A and B are shown apart, each in its own frame.
Chain A
């Protein structure tokens, strides 16, 4: 099996989908000859032609709206927004149309589209290139929000998203695009979208995270293991719809939970998980649920970026705090 980076796995999944189904069309800014600014679509226009891997004018509302229109007619567009910072003018199409089309028409029309966007900080990018607004999309009924955390997951979850009959916002943690390589079988196998993934089993504390921050979370789990603390690590992977069962089952075993995300703390997606833990898992909890998150500040430009991003030390400190409680 070949070893792939996350971005290469995205590319392989897109190529597989294009080869498997003529209804799949890729569109976005610079996705064609240039192969995408991160090279997610490299070689695809050459292989599948300019009609199937389509460079669009520089207009994000258009990209999302065109994808909605194509999907309404039975195509399976996979649209790329170059960076999450430019996705906001596409939100009207996602919120008012993509996520509602099936419901509005009582199933007459549907919207099987994927909107891909790199997101998150940590690569010393310019202004507007580092934010994490996944919670905003997770608030929208009728949508799926998927975030892979590894090459194998990126491959299987992206293919599942393309095959899914409903609209998916697929956010790619660009900080780990090339961080690790992993064996990925390019055989079209998908991964389920409605489930969290347990990356590490443990009995003392449940660590919940998604995307790039799972790397720090897993490092923290390693570190505390040296002190005899057994941490379970859960990758949420699909923020919407959320598989709360896996998280509740884990917390019923450990009694303690730390949620880790890069996005700003207030009304971040960790708040939803914490709320559901208190609604459905209060009696399992031996300590308050703790969040390790970005500050409620504007994401600083990159000289100060490292002070904003949660690190391994903050996660281990939070783990010790919930273990020492009571």
Chain B
């Protein structure tokens, strides 16, 4: 039997390929490792970023202390991820809209959310989501990834109205496993939305590591599957996050469509105050990652630029502590909302079907006062 003829011409060809860029300008010792962007040469800009990072960290430390002393509910910490949050908040314009998850206080504070509002939220008070500053920002979102399709809707509204605005949504590594993320990324690509996705890849979704979460080498490449660019930045290098996020924002604002930025960070804290990370990760991993933490890195770079010293550091810490203390006082001094408020904002106008339930609550309150 004759052997089947072999087709000498190879019919296979590559029809698509991709690569993922990784950006870092400053290494963990504050040393320059690339051609620096302009922001890295502007001491005033860097110092204001540094101040926002320190404020984020001091707020975080004091919020945890409040929780440990019974003055705050479960709280999700920012520790170690401040560079990503602050860069996002600093680059966004006021008219843009942030669609957050639940630990990016550095971004929210720069957008005008107050620390008192954040404390009220984690202290069990809905008024903590009535941001006096960024009126159109979405509030903190707890169900993982469910804010991402909303961000697509916010961006679609901006595009529909032909406004030069950009929606930014942030989420963690775990969120990129959810359909909400994939569906939204796909739509952002299909509709060329003015939307920037920022993945805070802090290596842990509570106890599940990124390696257990996905077999993808990067999370940034998930954007490629949706038809738009994704890239990685060193999330502990605020100059890298600032630079690449700025480029993504500018592109989106100019009609260039979405970008996904995967910021590589490390969650130095427990998942929340209700978590104990020592159950699933070792001290060695943690202490190794403290070496990379973002505040130290920028501080060393600033010292290298000769625009920072111990005295200024101490002054900054003190001023941040004072600012946080004032917010804590305002939070602790805020009396609980009227119980009837649970009915007040349910609908624009309370339906007649609910008036008897509201009256029941009022009656219970009256009885309690009398007894």
Contact = CB atoms under 8 A, between A and B. Distances in A.
Interface of A: 25, 51, 56-57, 59, 61-62, 64-75, 77, 89, 92-93, 96-97, 102-110, 141-142, 164-166, 194, 240-245
Nearest to A244: B353
Contact of A105 (B139, B346, B347): B139
Contacts of B138: 69, 72, 109
A69 B139 contact: no
21 contacts: A59-B179, A61-B180, A62-B184, A62-B186, A69-B155, A70-B160, A72-B138, A73-B153, A75-B160, A93-B146, A96-B143, A102-B346, A102-B348, A103-B126, A105-B345, A106-B127, A107-B345, A108-B131, A109-B138, A142-B347, A164-B348
Contacts of B126: 103-106
B353 A242 contact: yes
Contacts of B158: 73
A14 B146 CA distance: 28
B150 A65 contact: yes
B154 interface: yes
Contacts of A104: 126, 129, 139
Interface residues of B, number: 43
B354 interface: yes
B346 A110 contact: no
B258 interface: no
A75 B348 contact: no
Given A61-B179, A62-B183, A75 B157 contact: yes
Given A62-B186, A108-B131, 11 more contacts: A61-B149, A66-B150, A69-B152, A69-B153, A96-B146, A102-B345, A105-B131, A105-B345, A106-B345, A108-B135, A241-B347
B153 A70 contact: yes
Contact of B153 (A65, A96, A106, A141): A65
Interface string B335-371: 0000001100111100111100000000000000000
Nearest 4 CB-CB pairings of A with B:
A69-B153, A65-B149, A241-B351, A69-B150
Contact of B180 (A25, A65, A70, A74): A65
B183 A59 contact: yes
Nearest to B160: A51
A191 B179 CA distance: 38
A59 B179 CA distance: 9
Given A56-B187, A104-B139, A106-B129, A72 B150 contact: yes
A69 B156 contact: yes
A105 B129 contact: yes
